[in-house]
A and B are shown apart, each in its own frame.
Chain A
Amino acid sequence: MRHEPPVMSNCPVPFAATDCIRLGHGSGGKLSHQLLRDLVYPHFDNPWLAQAHDSTRLPPVGGPLLFTTDSFVVRPLFFPGGDIGKLAVYGTVNDLAMGGARPLFLSCSLILEEGLPLPTLSRILASMRQAADETGVQLVTGDTKVVERGKGDGLYINTSGIGVLEHSVDICPQRIQGGDLILLSGDIGRHGMAVMATREGLEFDNPLDSDCAPLHNPVKALLDANIPVHCLRDLTRGGLATALVELAETAGLSLSVREEDIAVSGGVQGACELLGLDPLFVANEGRFIALVPGDHGQRALGILRQQPVSADSRIIGRVLEERKCRVIYTTRLGTERLLDRLAGEQLPRIC
């Protein structure tokens, strides 16, 4: 099973494999300076970061701003299909995209654990850079802190992001209306199961890859085509079910979805069956739902299917007129039940 990607040949500063984070790297003294100069800045050379000031002065942008923040504490740092660096960029980019914004700038705070190998940090920063380039964002300010060994899982990352609205569509749960169709951008449960399989050392014949991916392109495509999108939501913690429940409650309406239209890959389904987990509640990092007016559903579906990251989009259900704030789930057997949030973590079955 792949735990770490191969060492990057284009790593800007080669470090000895034995070099690692020391408490002094967080002191604000020479070691801190060296860390930034030799390891962090080379990955992110841009005029904003080069200001090297306590705060960064950004250029005016032509529209309302969206601002968001997220912290990333995934363990292990590398997992099939991604790593914490990629996740930290895509996660915040996706939160901006779900508001309909074009992502522009990111901040990045690194909380480093004493003993983290510098080559590992360098690989993660390289991965962040690659993800930033891919999504068209600039990493313009940041911070590093070091915690004692045993007080962190190697590395925690916080990113905040600013994006600009370049259209007049108001995308939020309050705009959801009875009759809206619910589009799902692909199969569910990959990220959560890939991370769990790696963390617990579970091996499967068909390795599970995280779906970790940026979602700004399909959103842009919908908006460029003048689809009057009512709401977008990425399906991270708590998975599809939790996202649907949250939207139903905020919108004050009931939703209805069909099991047979919700795709789950054979690998994810097999792993979930084995462990007694429900893919509806498993985290994703590259999937979202779009709620659009009924008469725009088919055109929106066609647009999403043209984008590689949402090529397997499907219409999975619709918004009802009733105001009971429920999510009604129709099983493959034709029976109906309600979806609700989980009380705690999903736990594997005992026997």
Chain B
Amino acid sequence: MKYLDEYRQRSSIERLAADIAAITTRPWTLMEVCGGQTHSIVKYGLEQFLPPAIELVHGPGCPVCVTSLAIIDRAIALASRPEVIFCSFGDMLRVPGTERDLLAVKASGADVRALYSPLDALKLATENPHREVVFFAIGFETTAPANAMAVFQAREKGVNNFSLLVSHFLVPPAIEAVCQSPETRVQGFLAAGHVCAIMGYRQYVPLAAKYRVPIVITGFEPLDILEGVLLCVRQLEQGRYQVDNQYIRVVDRDGNRLAQKMLDEVFAVTAQTWRGVGNIDHSGFRLKPAFAPFDAELKFGLREHFPAGSTSPVDSNGCISGQIMQGLKKPRDCDHFGKRCRPESPLGAPMVSSEGACAAYYRYRAEEV
């Protein structure tokens, strides 16, 4: 298939692997930021192409994994209300809250629906004027524009029975938090290509300089990832700390201006709680006051009932998602991996989402072959 096969060709991958091996003179630890990249790496067994000196650690870029327990509990409380049709991306339904997950709420009679787009939820609100339709607006800069568009259209059309439960995360502050962590081993980053497709990569330039880390904007296909590694290792070996763009077929410096304009119209930057990691300044979005009537937390008075959640790196059930997502530990380092914690009975979000590092490790188990 065009635009796919050429990025999955064994000969090109082997050529890149040979290039990486040829320039690597000492050990380097790189972090791929996005869960989609982690998934590709494990699915295609890409580590088998890297010299032993190169270690990839998996970053915080899984939208399901970073969503805080407090927000999931709020979602469950909302979904349990009889007047509410609660809409979400399917992956969120299986993430454990304090006591149960959204699927359990659905099974006990709540109207919970898995949708593909917030605009479908808006349509549902128009079709059900006597119900309250809430969309669980989660994810990074990638999903935010569509959510912004939905709420923008709701205001334009006066669809007042529509609201968003917002839990948006921004990637650059998370990269900065990893750089600032005294425990970090990360020496270079493969940044998330799709986030940069929206936002461009201007924000990464000062980060690379300040923390002396190469940042390579990288795609998701096997060839993209190996090329990203090559560009990152080359900088490290040469002692350069800059932003490189591997994903030029999708990303440019400025990103998608229209999407950014929509984000700016609807959302304000705010502090955000990352599950298992804690609070990071300027790392999330909230709705601007002009869109307050569409903010589910205000509309249903949720913040009073569920104040900010735990920021401990270890969930009370023993999930070490915070350490996994900061690249401090790998799924296999967790005592519960594959034992108490499996995809069918996850202790934490990284085992739920297809973009979670634990789920990817469990599903493909390349190292067991």
User: Which residues does A use to contact B, with CB under 8 Å?
Assistant: 200, 266, 269-270, 273, 275-276, 326, 328, 331-338, 340, 342-345, 347-351
Tell me, yes or no, whether B46 is within 8 Å of chain A by CB: yes
CB neighbours (8 Å) of A326 from chain B are 368
CB neighbours (8 Å) of B43 from chain A are 331, 337
A350 pairs with B364, CB closer than 8 A: no
- What are 13 A-B contacts defined by CB distance under 8 Å? A269-B1, A276-B354, A328-B369, A331-B43, A331-B44, A333-B13, A333-B49, A336-B369, A337-B42, A337-B45, A347-B91, A348-B89, A351-B142
CB neighbours (8 Å) of B354 from chain A are 276, 347, 349
A351 pairs with B116, CB closer than 8 A: no
Q: Chain A interface secondary structure, helix, strand, loop or mixed? A: loop
A338 pairs with B143, CB closer than 8 A: no
Per-residue CB proximity of B111-152 to A under 8 Å, as 1/0? Answer: 000101000000000000000000000111011000000000
Tell me, yes or no, whether B331 is within 8 Å of chain A by CB: no
Q: A111: shortest Cβ distance to chain B, in Å?
A: 22
B366 pairs with A336, CB closer than 8 A: yes
User: Which residues does B use to contact A, with CB under 8 Å?
Assistant: 1, 4, 8-10, 13, 36, 42-46, 48-49, 63-64, 89-91, 94, 114, 116, 138-140, 142-143, 194, 222, 342-344, 353-355, 362-366, 368-369
CA A331 – CA B64 in complex, angstroms?
27
CB neighbours (8 Å) of B138 from chain A are 350
Q: Chain B residue with minimal CB distance to A343? A: B343
B8 pairs with A338, CB closer than 8 A: no
CB neighbours (8 Å) of A266 from chain B are 1
CA A349 – CA B38 in complex, angstroms?
13
CA A200 – CA B368 in complex, angstroms?
37
Known: A349-B355, A351-B143. A337 touches B90 (CB 8 A): no
CA A331 – CA B222 in complex, angstroms?
11
Q: B67: shortest Cβ distance to chain A, in Å?
A: 11
CA A269 – CA B46 in complex, angstroms?
21
A337 pairs with B10, CB closer than 8 A: no
Q: A273-B4, A337-B366 are in contact. List 6 more A-B contacts (CB 8 A).
A: A335-B46, A336-B45, A340-B363, A344-B343, A350-B138, A350-B139
A270 pairs with B1, CB closer than 8 A: yes
B45 pairs with A333, CB closer than 8 A: yes
CA A351 – CA B146 in complex, angstroms?
11
CA A328 – CA B36 in complex, angstroms?
23
Q: B345: shortest Cβ distance to chain A, in Å?
A: 8
B10 pairs with A334, CB closer than 8 A: yes
**B13, B45, B355: the one within 8 Å of A350 (CB):** B355
CB neighbours (8 Å) of A331 from chain B are 43-45
A350 pairs with B143, CB closer than 8 A: yes
B1 pairs with A337, CB closer than 8 A: no
CA A326 – CA B367 in complex, angstroms?
13
CA A189 – CA B366 in complex, angstroms?
24
CA A334 – CA B17 in complex, angstroms?
13
With a 10 A CB-CB cut-off, give which of A328, A335, A348 has the most chain B CB atoms. A335
Q: B268: shortest Cβ distance to chain A, in Å?
A: 21
Q: A329: shortest Cβ distance to chain B, in Å?
A: 9
Q: Chain B residue with minimal CB distance to A346? A: B354
Known: A348-B116, A350-B139. A333 touches B365 (CB 8 A): no
CB neighbours (8 Å) of B45 from chain A are 331, 333, 335-337
**B90, B139, B344: the one within 8 Å of A343 (CB):** B344
B4 pairs with A269, CB closer than 8 A: yes
A335 pairs with B366, CB closer than 8 A: yes
CA A349 – CA B45 in complex, angstroms?
20
Known: A333-B222, A337-B364. A351 touches B342 (CB 8 A): no
Q: A289: shortest Cβ distance to chain B, in Å?
A: 21
Q: Chain A residue with minimal CB distance to B362? A: A340
Q: Chain A residue with minimal CB distance to B141? A: A351
CA A348 – CA B143 in complex, angstroms?
14
Q: Which 3 interchain pairs have the tightest Cβ spacing?
A: A335-B45, A343-B343, A351-B142
CB neighbours (8 Å) of B364 from chain A are 337-338
B366 pairs with A351, CB closer than 8 A: no
CA A301 – CA B94 in complex, angstroms?
43
CA A332 – CA B5 in complex, angstroms?
10
